[in-house]
Amino acid sequence: MQHVSVMPAETLEALQLQSGFSALDCTLGLAGHARLISAAVGPSGHVYACDTDSESIVLAKANLVDAPSPVTILHTPFSHARQALDQSGMTAKVDALLADFGTSMMHFQTPERGFSLMHDGPLDMRLDRTSDTETAADLVNGLAEKELANLIYTTGERRSRAIARALVRARPIVTMHQFASVILAAVPRTGKLHPATLSALSLRIAVNNEYQEIDTLINELPSLVRPGGRVAFITFHSGEDLIAKTGTRRLAKEGKAKLINKHVLIPTPEEVRRNPASRSAKMRVLEML
């Protein structure tokens, strides 16, 4: 499975890792960042890594077979990281924490996961398919039209009412192809972006409680990272970044953390050329007090 970690050099610089450090990778994915962190902390260090997606964990374990440091994988959403660390025997605070929010390319490259508008598959979008949480299809087919329109509007889709009306009239909708086709027929294409893109993003965020997860993690940082320890957040769209921006500034105002970068860090032009998926990435860095 193809995967390229975003902003690898900037991540290592931000976290200020040293040999023997403990680090928490809140979003393991396919373990690209975890391998970098493992190499930086070395055999005397330890990497802890969270992921809610059991399928990603299987692939990540294969990518970490020869990791330079011990790696403990925690099958849990990162909002439960403190509890999961305690249960693993790591009751102390870690020296550094990374969270690379959102989904990985694996999710979009696997049609049966139901994330990509470019491939047909079930309208699912759950990061953890072993859970009994609602799928995107459950929301599309179960919400009242006004509720569905409000949900779609959360990512700035101004045509949310027309889209919700079309989706409700076309019920039941069970595949990505149906979902994309209904929206494409209901609203005009105004640029390169598929007209269903923001609607799909709204559903994905809702299905996985993504905004609540980020907010909870920020609130938990003082219990996770020691004073002097570094934290790096990588976001990929404005909704994520607004929560990261607001939450980290709140911690700084409360005297619990210090903002390291006044402005967000972004990938270099060279990285964007090599990895176009990195183009929207933004990094925020803070140091716990």
Q: Which pLDDT score, from 0 to 100, does residue 2 have?
A: 53
pLDDT at 177: 94
Same domain, 17 and 46: yes
Tell me which residue has tokens 């790696």: 71
Q: How far is CA 35 from CA 2, 51, 62, 86, 284, in A?
A: 15, 15, 11, 23, 21
How far is Cα 172 from Cα 211, in angstroms, rounded to an integer? 27
Q: Give the chain's domain count.
A: 2
Side-chain half-sphere of 53: how many Cα atoms within 13 Å?
A: 21
Same domain (yes/no): 200, 215: no
146 and 100 inside one domain: no
> Mean pLDDT for each 10-residue chunk of the chain (289 residues)?
80 98 95 96 98 92 95 96 97 97 74 80 90 93 98 95 98 96 92 92 95 96 98 94 96 97 93 92 97
Query: Of 183, 207, 231, which marks where a domain is finished?
Result: 207
Q: How far apart are CA 121 and CA 119, in angstroms?
A: 6
Does residue 101 sit in the same domain as residue 220? yes
Q: Distance between the two ends of the chain, CA-based, in angstroms?
A: 39
CB-hemisphere CA count at 13 Å for 19?
4
Q: State the pLDDT at residue 152.
A: 97
The verdict on 87 and 168 lying in the same domain is no
Residues 189 and 216 in one domain: no
Q: Are residues 218 and 283 in the same domain?
A: yes
pLDDT at 102: 75
Tell how strand 22-25 and strand 46-51 pair up. parallel
* Domain residue limits at 144: 128-207
- Cβ atoms within 10 A of the Cβ of 276, count? 10
Looking at the fold, whether 19 and 96 belong to one and the same domain comes out as yes
The CATH number that applies at residue 242 is: 3.40.50.150
